[in-house]
Structure 1
Amino acid sequence: MKKIYLLFMGLFAFTDVEAQLTLTKAANCPTIGDLVTLKEYDSTGVVPKATGTGQVWDFSNLTTTLSAYTESYTSVSAHPSASLFPGADLAKSSGTTEVEFMTVGSGTMEFNGFYKPVGPEILSFTNTAQLFTWPVSLGSSGSDAASGALSNGTLVMGASGTISYSATGVGTVILPGPKTHSNCLQVIQTVSLTVTSGTNTFQIDEKRYMYYSSLSKEGIVEYAYTTETTGTVVTKSFEMKMSQEALIAGISANQSTLKDVRVFPNPASGTLQWFGNSDGNVQLIDMKGVVVRDEKNIGSLDISNLPIGIYNLRMINEKGILNKKVNIQE
């Protein structure tokens, strides 16, 4: 049940304009093939959340011992559960544990639901949750009602709620490193979801703070406060994650230095090679978002035992993150 209230994460991205950031569909909508590498952080102290202009949100004192993980955007048809979400046109997967489905083909970003194979647990909105309307800039806001069903195995429950967002601040974000990102936009999202089964009711309320720069399509840092209420029992929790790309490439970094990497052969079989970069780590990710290789970058990768198909080659070092599509053949 915990994942329900973590799903309505802002899938915002922003372009850099002179005065402030603005989200636009044409420039920043997630598309098939996009990859996002994230790192989770724990915080027992106070994290910055002030609203307004000219803010400095300083997260530089936070630490983590957790490994980074990758989320990938894929076609809906790539997943066996696609038929449960007939209106979706984009899927986001986190390895093999969960797939989220959304609709992005219109002027809005809508959340259709999720599928988790254990159970299986399925949240399906017949009245989809409209996360936001393009464009989004300081002062933008919106609210939408959603309804559908949550099932776990043979148990089917009603699910309904309200999702709202508001762009509430602009300023500078400082991440651990420290890495400084200027001209960032703060967006606050609230979710109120009620799950009912007979006379039993489970209430979930979440307030999520998200910070975006022109660096990438996803936010560079976000955290959420969640309250679960079942009868008289109240449980509170906190979760935070940061963009691995933003942690590597701050204001002083030059991401473009990775653009000269050349991958060969492509299509490839047996061994994949490249020149232009041979430090840091390299990952190979299939179209379902599963990391099938994660190794030190030595300029080549053994792909002899991998199924044929399209993969994403991701290189990560102190200069930034680079993604290259590769076609593996027999």
Structure 2
Amino acid sequence: MKKNIYLAIFTFISVASQAQLTLTKAFNDPIYGDQFNRKEFDSVGVVPKSTGTNQLWNFSAYPQNANVLNTTFTTVSTAPNGANYIGATIVEMDGAGANSYYKSTASTYELVGAENTSLSYNYTNTAMGWAWPTAYGYTNTDTYSGSAATSSSVTGTAIGSNTVNASGTGTLILPGGITFNNVLQLTIRNTFTLNYASSTFVLNINAVDYDYFAGAQKLPIFTVSYSSVTGSSSSSSAKIRVNNLALTGLNDHNFDAAFAIFPNPAKDHFSIKLSNPSQLTCNIEIINSIGQKVQLIKLGSDAEISGNINIADFATGIYTVKTTLGSRISCRKLVVE
């Protein structure tokens, strides 16, 4: 339930010029058939999310995990419960029962409701995400309300507030070292309460997304999401996701398929093995959980590189093994016991 309890209001951008990124209906309004496919990454130390102009958001050392999220925008009638969401013009579906229903007008983009296999909420007073057009400095707060229901037919109310700020501009470095300049950051804060069965079961949800946009991509290229649930049940989550389209060509920048570290978890040492047919110079950096480089190993330029790395003096915890092969970078998570 905690995975789907909060469905973020996605925001979209276009590039009016190199000096100003602007959300416009003509470019950023999703259409039927649009896909939003994301890969998930693990954090390394403090997550950069500063606001203001001329910022640097560096996620280059973040390792990828096995989680993915793939959604498709399609007609409301495609969803089994689509007719229940009055006014919705498009639905975003993940194929596994989690659907978000949106209403796009000439001037706004709004959330009509959402559902998953555990919960649903349907807003008679919709949640406005933003107004067209939107650029740095934009801010809007909107309250919304409607009904809620569980999969076991327990009903209640959903009441909340959503604030969107175009909060930053700067340079974004993705995992693997891909750099985007002229990036726009949007901060989306959502607070809402689900009240079921006359207050016998109440959930208070607080969530914040930091969305980053660049270039000609319709959807966010990078998102950091936090959510917490209190009340009759409690949970928290943090997710870092990268738009697959922003990673086009990433395999040219990294070499995950040819790179292995083992054992993992490790105690006193771990081994590495990778193919290097171009005989490029290989270096390894080991980075701790607060982003500090704790070891640098130079491995030469052999066609087949292998080595045994001593970590007997390392404190237990999670580290990132950042391997550079020429201009290419690969990051793996290492657990030290």
TM-score (norm 1): 0.71
Larger Rg: 2
Instruction: Name the structure 2 match of 1:71.
Output: 71
Instruction: Name the structure 2 match of 1:131.
Output: 129
Deviation at 1:50, TM superposition (A): 0.9
SS where residue 81 of structure 2 aligns? Answer: helix
Output aligned runs, 1:1-330, within 5 Å.
Answer: 1-3=1-3, 5-43=5-43, 45-66=45-66, 68-116=68-116, 118-119=117-118, 121-152=119-150, 153-197=152-196, 198-200=198-200, 201-230=202-231, 235-249=235-249
Deviates more, 1:97-106 or 1:186-195: 97-106
Instruction: Name the structure 2 match of 1:287.
Output: none
CA contact (8 A) 1:89 1:105 kept: no
SS where residue 65 of structure 1 aligns? Answer: strand
Letter in 1 for 2:38: L
CA contact (8 A) 2:44 2:62 kept: no
Q: Partners of 1:9 and 1:42 in 2: how far apart? A: 22
Deviation at 1:111, TM superposition (A): 0.5
CA contact (8 A) 1:179 1:249 kept: no
Letter in 1 for 2:222: V
Q: Partners of 1:99 and 1:199 in 2: how far apart? A: 26
Letter in 1 for 2:50: A
CA contact (8 A) 2:75 2:91 kept: yes
CA 13–108 in structure 1, closer or farther in 2 if over 3 Å, else same:
same
Deviation at 1:140, TM superposition (A): 0.3
Residues 230-277 of structure 1: per-residue CA shift (max 9 Å, x gap) = 16x754321121111112257x99xxxxxxxxxxxxxxxxxxxxxxxx
CA 73–7 in structure 1, closer or farther in 2 if over 3 Å, else same:
same
Letter in 2 for 1:23: L
Deviation at 1:3, TM superposition (A): 4.7
CA contact (8 A) 1:15 1:28 kept: no
Deviation at 1:45, TM superposition (A): 2.3
Q: Partners of 1:236 and 1:81 in 2: how far apart? A: 28
CA contact (8 A) 1:37 1:71 kept: yes
Residues 64-108 of structure 1: per-residue CA shift (max 9 Å, x gap) = 131544211101111221111121010111123311111013311
Query: What's the C-alpha RMSD, in Å, of the aligned pairs?
Result: 2.0
Letter in 2 for 1:158: T
Q: Partners of 1:188 and 1:67 in 2: how far apart? A: 23
Deviates more, 1:73-82 or 1:180-189: 73-82
Deviation at 1:42, TM superposition (A): 2.4
Q: Partners of 2:248 and 2:187 in 1: how far apart? A: 25
Deviation at 1:40, TM superposition (A): 1.4
- Give structure 1 stretches of 5+ with no counterpart: 254-330
CA contact (8 A) 1:129 1:146 kept: yes
Residues 21-43 of structure 1: per-residue CA shift (max 9 Å, x gap) = 11111121111111121111222
Deviation at 1:223, TM superposition (A): 1.1
Q: Partners of 2:82 and 2:208 in 1: how far apart? A: 29
Letter in 2 for 1:127: N
Letter in 1 for 2:215: S
Letter in 2 for 1:175: L
CA contact (8 A) 1:5 1:191 kept: no
Q: Partners of 2:53 and 2:98 in 1: how far apart? A: 37
Instruction: Name the structure 1 match of 2:266.
Output: none
Deviation at 1:8, TM superposition (A): 2.3
CA 26–6 in structure 1, closer or farther in 2 if over 3 Å, else same:
same
Q: Partners of 1:67 and 1:237 in 2: how far apart? A: 14
CA contact (8 A) 2:41 2:63 kept: yes
CA 67–160 in structure 1, closer or farther in 2 if over 3 Å, else same:
closer
Deviation at 1:2, TM superposition (A): 2.3
Q: Partners of 2:153 and 2:173 in 1: how far apart? A: 47
Instruction: Give me the identity figure in percent.
Output: 31
- Give structure 2 stretches of 5+ with no counterpart: 254-337
- Aligned residue pairs total 249
